[in-house]
Amino acid sequence: MVAFDKCETRPAHIDAILNGLDRYNPETTTIFQDYVTQQCEERTFDCYANLALLKLYQFNPHLLQPDTVTNVLVKALTVFPSPAFSLCLALLPPHTQPFPTTSEAKAASQTSDFVESVQKLSHLSTLLESAQYTQFWSTLNSDDLYADLTADVAGFEELIRIRIAVEVGKAFRTVKAESLEQWLDIRGREALEKFVTEVCAWKVDGALVQVPANKENEARSEVKSERVGIEQFGRVIRRGFELPV
């Protein structure tokens, strides 16, 4: 497993900041913000660097850039089911949380476009984490705000489809093509066949899609045996012959 603080595509100057005291320097926020933009454009993701930026926002609320924060959250969606989204969400101000607890937080959540954006993205995360893929796509397509929120992230829908396919491949050996079309939001059998064969290396067999065996979806029999000696029950047997007092 790759270490949480590692990223193969991380530039050297970002790595130097993360491994030094400058990661706590408010002046580095602009550098991290530019790096988030780079991740969005190049389809990369550096959770550790993004968390460092959100931590700087936490210490310096006046520097917070709503567009950058939402871009970080959208990028985190593309790597589900990792805990990236939850970790990022935990560093945001309390009034942005999906379920504000104080009256002040509730009042703020009713008046802020930024809070609405965070909570909408949180809803998408919940749908993905609970494997409600069809509902995820219908929700994503139901509001123009979602299109605005994901516009800066290159290949967002494609990245989500790949992640869904990975999770499906862990759970199934055979999937109905009709169900897979809904889970991946792919319209038409030809488009579905192109995706599953070229991207997933799966096979379409009529109305079914065959998923190759892997360590997650392969059925394995498990035989458990226990050796229990009579001496282990000696006390129980003796108590059975004892006369009540």
Q: State whether 44 and 80 are in the same domain.
A: yes
Both 136 and 168 in a single domain? no
**105 occurs within a structural domain:** no
Q: Report the relative pairing of strands 208-210 and 203-205 from DSSP bridges.
A: antiparallel
Is residue 236 situated within a structural domain?
no
207 and 88 belong to one structural domain: no
Q: Please, which pLDDT band fits residue 94 given cuts at 50, 70 and 90? A: confident
Mean pLDDT for the stretch of residues 121-135 = 96
Q: Quote the pLDDT of residue 83.
A: 93
pLDDT of residue 210: 92
Task: Report yes or no on 99 lying in a domain.
Answer: no
Contact status, residue 123 vs residue 98, Cβ threshold 8 Å: yes
Residue 60 neighbours by CB under 8 Å, 6+ apart: 26, 29
- Half-sphere CA count of 128, side-chain side, radius 13 A: 31
Please count the structural domains in the chain: 2
Does 43 share its domain with 2? yes
pLDDT in tens, 190-205: 999 999 999 999 998 8
pTM, two decimals, is 0.83
Task: Let me know whether 192 and 129 are in one domain.
Answer: no
- Sheet strand arrangement including 208-210: 174-176, 208-210, 203-205
Residue 85 pLDDT? 96
Task: Give the pLDDT mean for 113-128.
Answer: 94
- Which pLDDT band holds residue 48 (cuts at 50, 70, 90)? very high
Is 31 domain-assigned?
A: yes
The predicted structure's pLDDT at residue 218: 75
Domain of residue 175: give its range: 163-217
Report the C-alpha gap between 103 and 100 in whole angstroms. Answer: 8
Q: What contacts 173, CB < 8 A, 6 or more positions away?
A: 210, 211, 213, 217, 218, 219
Mark whether 72 and 172 lie in a shared domain.
Answer: no
Q: Is the pLDDT of residue 19 over 80?
A: yes
Let me know whether 79 and 149 are in one domain.
Answer: yes
In this structure, is residue 147 part of a structural domain? yes
Same domain, 128 and 211: no
Q: How far apart are CA 244 and CA 147, in angstroms?
A: 77
pLDDT for residue 174: 92
Judgement on whether residues 114 and 199 belong to the same structural domain of the protein: no
152 band by pLDDT with thresholds 50, 70 and 90: very high
Query: 4 and 48: one domain?
Result: yes
Among the listed ranges 68-82, 213-227, 230-244, which one has the minimum average pLDDT value? 230-244
User: Do 144 and 41 have their domain in common?
Assistant: yes
The owner of tokens 């504000």 is 100
Q: Which of 44-48, 186-190, 231-235 has the lowest mean pLDDT?
A: 231-235
Q: Would you say residue 1 lies in a domain?
A: yes
Mean pLDDT to the nearest integer, 154-161: 96
